[in-house]
Amino acid sequence: MSVALTAIRKSYAAPDAPRTRRLILDLPALRLGSGEQVALTGPSGSGKSTLLHIIAGTLEPDAGTVVHDWGGQPFPMTASRPALCDRYRGRHIGCVFQGSPLLAGLNARDNVLLALTVTGRVADRRWADELLEALGLAQRAHHLPSQLSPGQRVRVACARALVGRPQLLLVDEPTAALDHASAGLLLDLLLPLAAQLRACVLVITHDPAVVARVGRELPLATLQRGLAC
Amino acid sequence: MLSLLAVAWRRVWQRRTSTLLTATSVALSAGLAVLLLLVRTQGLQLLAHGPRGFDLIIGPKGSGIDLTLTTLFHLESATGTISWSFYDSLQHDPSWHGAVAQAVPLAVGDSVDGCDLIATTPDLFAVVGGASPAGVRPAPSAADGGGALAAGEMMRDGTIQAVVGAEVPRLTGLEIGASFRPTHGTGDGIDPNEVHQRSFTIVGVLAPTGTVFDRCVFVTLAGFWSIDEHERGLHDQALVRAAAAGSASAGASGSGEVPDGDQDPPPSRVAADGTVQLGLPVTERRLSMILVRSRGEFSAQSILYRVNSGDQAMAVNPTLILAGLSRTLLAPALRLGAALVALVLSMATLGVLLSSYHAVHAQALELATLRALGASRRWLLTLISSEAALCGLLGAVCGLVPAHLLMAVVEWWMRARLGGGAPWWQPGWPDLLVVLLAGAAAALAGLVPGYVAGRQMVAEQLC
């Protein structure tokens, strides 16, 4: 069970010259397997988040294929209708994005359950509470995002990403807004939970401390086909 | 259970200030729409109830509209009279019998503590009582003392007894057994200094009819004519008519309306049993109008033609008059009102759309997060549309309160001037219709921002 990327290319319009496009990703191949925990590193603007969104199916590459195979039929993310991609993402992939956006009107527990609601699954309150407890938020389940600290909000976002028992967990700069201690605590809580679910984890970071905790570093530059990042 | 609707409500509540402003604009327009529909319903009911029980009104030559409004709603003052002999011929001339089923004479022009006084016969309650709205016992005939009585007994013809409409005791404090003296004039023309000397005694209270009769005081024609000022006035009118016709032609006219010389008629007397012995000659007795129940549509047409061909009186079909008024005055006004309401509702819907559109942009990160979590475009479309619908429904429901409060004022006026009117607090189909329409319009308005939300680039928001 894995996700396989083949010949991925993605370019953006250059801000200073809109008619010219700047190639940001030129990735011959990448495969991530079940249970792997990988830290994708690279400088800012090198295309790490772009790659994460292409894997998640929230961004289309200019060329190339992304095929998810997490049990059942392999799912060609790049060749499927948006509605099918949404459905697949909701059921197999957990995402923690930069800034860990939560819905301001929902409390912590409902933000976690939201991941099940939007995909039409039964809201498993017990499992949501277990995750919140495991992430040290048992006493904060009924707090609104505005009543939580940045670190607590990231942990709620992590619980939300895990509540659907994903096979692939994509985490984008989880510690960007946290101090070293909080960042370390977060990863110490998150990574064992993901391992318990046998989820493949791809963490985007440029923080060496995060890389050290994840274990395996994958510099984006080494994956690219001769691009100067 | 965290449902889509729960998420929609929490998001709407989260931006409650903008929701409140948008809902207020919806409330104003929805309230206006409900008010217009309620007024329309009440107006149409009033017009439909007005002429029940009789199909023609006969009165002095003049405006048919004035005669109808005076008779049904007491909106105008009676401007002339017709002779008693004309009514008498309707009753006793065999040539009328094939067309006239029943004729009820009315004389108006006085009031009691602001309530109009109507001089008539107990037959009136047999005609209109049986056709009154629900809740009133029908009056099969006048002989039983009036089947439409709520308390007491029916006034006895030829006496100085009176019965009062259902609301009169509350308005004037006059109960059964009380006496009153009428004041000359009605409506704005009441002169409080011109109080007649004749005193009447209330013997019964009528059951509510939902018409202007609920606010009227009824006396017998004999009692009415026995009032000194009326006797003298009617006699003077007879002299004027005779003078106008000329003494020679007056003697040969055969109209039966020639006064008995220049001397005042002997004053009326009231016997110990309350029976009036009228001094006013039959030829000088006058009526304000006659209600006629014909034997059928053809008979009604026949009466109309025959009366209007003569020079003594005028007959009108109140249903046609009211339909004409409705067509020429009410319908255009209602159409204009409906157009205004449609315009205001459109503006409110546009307001919902703009508010929703703004929210989609302001909360783009939240929406992108939902997409990233697996929410489909259709789910987002439903969410945004539901949020707009909630805003519309909230506004519309809030709009019902001012609408019904304003309706209370309208209903008070209608009861005071026209009679009838449903309780203002009672919810009806206009409320449900407007709330559903507002919700549906808002939901439709939410489709546009909902579509836009689904098309936003998720990665752009989350990177």
pLDDT in tens, B365-402: 889 899 889 898 999 999 999 999 999 999 999 999 88
Is residue A83 pLDDT above 60, yes or no?
A: yes
Structure tokens at B66: 């004035």
User: What is the predicted pLDDT for the residue at B261?
Assistant: 54
- List CB contacts of A136: < 8 A, sequence separation 6 or more: A155, A185, A189
pLDDT in tens, B301-334: 888 898 888 888 899 988 888 888 878 877 788 7
Q: Which residue of B has its CA nearest to A118?
A: B375
Greater pLDDT, A91 or B192: A91
pLDDT in tens, B195-207: 888 889 999 998 8
Segments making up each domain of chain B, as ranges: 4-47+323-462, 56-316
For chain A, which residues lie within 8 Å of any Cβ of chain B, measuring from their own Cβ? 49-50, 53, 56, 58-59, 82-83, 86-87, 89-91, 95, 97-99, 101-106, 110, 113-115, 117-119, 123, 160, 164, 172
The residue count of chain B comes to 463
pLDDT in tens, A142-173: 999 999 988 889 899 999 999 999 999 999 88
Q: Give the percent of chain B with pLDDT over 70.
A: 86
A229: in domain: no
- Give the position of tokens 């009428």: B182
B287 strand-pairing partners? B82
Decide: B294 and B50 in contact? Cβ < 8 Å.
no
Structure tokens at B305: 């033609």
- Tell me how far apart the alpha carbons of residues B243 and A219 are, in angstroms, rounded to a whole number: 123
Q: Using DSSP, state whether B140 is helix, strand or coil.
A: coil
pLDDT in tens, B142-190: 444 444 788 888 888 888 899 998 889 988 898 999 999 999 887 776 7
Looking at every residue in chain B, the average pLDDT score rounds to 81
Q: Using DSSP, state whether A21 is helix, strand or coil.
A: strand
Position A127, amino acid: W
pTM: 0.70
- Give the position of tokens 């274990």: A215
User: What is the predicted pLDDT for the residue at B139?
Assistant: 37
- Tell me how far apart the alpha carbons of residues B16 and B21 are, in angstroms, rounded to a whole number: 8
- How many Å lie between the alpha carbon of B358 and the closest alpha carbon of chain A? 17
The sign of the dihedral angle between the CA atoms of B240, B241, B245, B248 is negative
User: What is the predicted pLDDT for the residue at B454?
Assistant: 84
The angle, 0 to 180 degrees and rounded to 10, between the axes of the packed helices B364-372 and B377-417 is 130
The sign of the dihedral angle between the CA atoms of B377, B378, B383, B384 is positive
Is residue B229 pLDDT above 70, yes or no?
A: yes
User: What is the predicted pLDDT for the residue at B417?
Assistant: 66
Interface mutation target, options A48, A93, A97, A153, chain B, most CBs of B under 10 Å? A97
- Give the position of tokens 């499992």: A127
Decide: A42 and A221 in contact? Cβ < 8 Å.
yes
CB contact under 8 A, B369 and A104: no
- List CB contacts of A27: < 8 A, sequence separation 6 or more: A5, A7, A8, A9, A51, A64, A223, A224, A225
User: What is the predicted pLDDT for the residue at B133?
Assistant: 35
Greater pLDDT, B26 or B210: B26
- List CB contacts of A133: < 8 A, sequence separation 6 or more: none
A26: in domain: no
What does the pLDDT average to over B68-88?
80
Decide: A201 and A191 in contact? Cβ < 8 Å.
yes
Q: Shortest CA distance to B349 belongs to which of B451, B432, B434, B428? A: B434
- Tell me how far apart the alpha carbons of residues A159 and A154 are, in angstroms, rounded to a whole number: 9
Structure tokens at B263: 């001397």
Residue B14 has its nearest CB partner, among A104, A110, A117, at A104
Q: Among B12-16, B296-300, B419-423, B445-449, name the one with the lowest average pLDDT.
A: B419-423
Q: Which residue of A has its CA nearest to B365?
A: A101
CB atoms within 10 A of CB B278: 20
- Give the position of tokens 């249970």: A35
User: What is the predicted pLDDT for the residue at A120?
Assistant: 87
Greater pLDDT, B192 or B352: B352
Structure tokens at B419: 């009679």
Domain that holds residue A209: 35-62+78-223
User: What is the predicted pLDDT for the residue at B131?
Assistant: 35
Decide: B126 and B144 in contact? Cβ < 8 Å.
no
pLDDT in tens, A100-145: 789 999 999 999 999 999 988 888 899 999 999 988 888 999 999 9
User: What is the predicted pLDDT for the residue at A216?
Assistant: 87
Decide: B148 and B129 in contact? Cβ < 8 Å.
yes
pLDDT category at B1 given cuts 50, 70, 90 is low
Domains held by chain A: number:
1
B contact residues 338-367, partner A, Cβ 8 Å cutoff: 365-366
Report residue A215 CA to chain centroid gap: 17
CATH number at residue A143: 3.40.50.300
- List CB contacts of B222: < 8 A, sequence separation 6 or more: B157, B158, B159, B160, B276, B278
pLDDT in tens, A26-69: 999 999 988 889 999 988 888 899 999 999 999 999 999 999 99
User: What is the predicted pLDDT for the residue at B396?
Assistant: 92
Q: Shortest CA distance to B275 belongs to which of B223, B232, B228, B225? A: B223
User: What is the predicted pLDDT for the residue at B128?
Assistant: 62
Q: Using DSSP, state whether B379 is helix, strand or coil.
A: helix
